[in-house]
Amino acid sequence: MATGVAMVSRSLTTPLHALRRLQERDTLLRLADSALAALESRAMFDPPLAVRHGVLEPPHERYEWTLRIAGESDGAARGLPEDCRAVALMLREIAPPASGVTLTSLWPREWVE
């Protein structure tokens, strides 16, 4: 009987663990999309964007973001029009478990230089 209970418990734990990971990923994607939109609007109205690192505002202050701009020699920048730059927003949880996501977008060159 104890073996059966242990097997049932394990078989339920795996899907619940996977569901929790999917929910965390969905939350990270929503927060990253919102942070990228906020940075885009800031860069649009007051270019060039000087801030490249920060922490989200409460109640999401446990997440930090970093904005990376692809350089001329970077593989991500090859093949892009001269007036565009590839930007990557990396969002991750500060405290373990440090899960994270990266969103990539194309921005006009004057927003970042």
* Cis? peptide before 47, omega within 30° of 0: no
pLDDT at 7: 59
Strands (E), the chain: 53-55, 63-69, 84-93, 100-108
The domain locations on the chain are: 2-111
2-111, CATH topology level = Pantoate--beta-alanine Ligase; Chain: A,domain 2 (3.30.1300)
CA 50/CA 46 separation, integer angstroms: 10
pLDDT one-digit tens code per residue, 33-73:
888 898 888 888 888 878 788 888 888 888 889 888 876 55
pLDDT of residue 29 exceeding 80? yes
Report pLDDT digits (tens) over 65-107: 988 887 655 555 567 777 888 888 888 888 776 778 888 888 8
pTM above 0.85, yes or no: no
